[in-house]
Amino acid sequence: MYADNSLGRRLALHFNQLWLQATEREAESIAFKNKSKLGEAVEELLDVNLSKKRIAEMKRLFGTALETASRSRTDIDAVYIIANSQQTRLIKPFFDVNVSVFGEKLPIFGSSRSYLVDESKSQKRDLNDLTFTEMPWLIRNKARSLHNLYAKVGEQQTQLKKLFAFGFDAQRLIFALKQLETLTDQSFDGLTGQLAITKNNRIKRDLEWSRYQQGRIIAVAKTDQ
One DSSP character per residue, 158-208 reads HHHHHHHHHHHHHHHHTTTHHHHHHSTT--EE-SSSEEEE-TTS-EEEE-E
- Write out the residue limits of the CATH 3.40.50.2300 domain(s) in the chain: 1-135+207-225, 136-206
Mean per-residue pLDDT of the chain: 85
Report the CATH superfamily, name and number, of domain 136-206: Response regulator (3.40.50.2300)
Question: What was the pLDDT predicted at 6?
Answer: 93
Question: What was the pLDDT predicted at 221?
Answer: 66
Question: What was the pLDDT predicted at 18?
Answer: 93
pLDDT tens track for 132-143: 998 888 887 667
Per the CB < 8 A criterion, the answer to whether 53 and 70 are in contact is no
pLDDT tens track for 61-109: 887 777 888 888 888 899 999 998 889 998 988 888 888 777 778 899 9
Considering the domain delimited by 1-135+207-225, tell me its CATH architecture: 3-Layer(aba) Sandwich (3.40)
For 65, phi then psi, to 5°, come to -80, 0
pLDDT tens track for 31-66: 988 888 888 889 998 999 888 899 888 888 887 777
CB atoms within 10 A of CB 109: 16
One DSSP character per residue, 103-137 reads SPPPPEEE-GGG--TT--HHHHHHTTT-EEEE-HH
Q: What's the average model confidence in pLDDT over 14-29?
A: 93
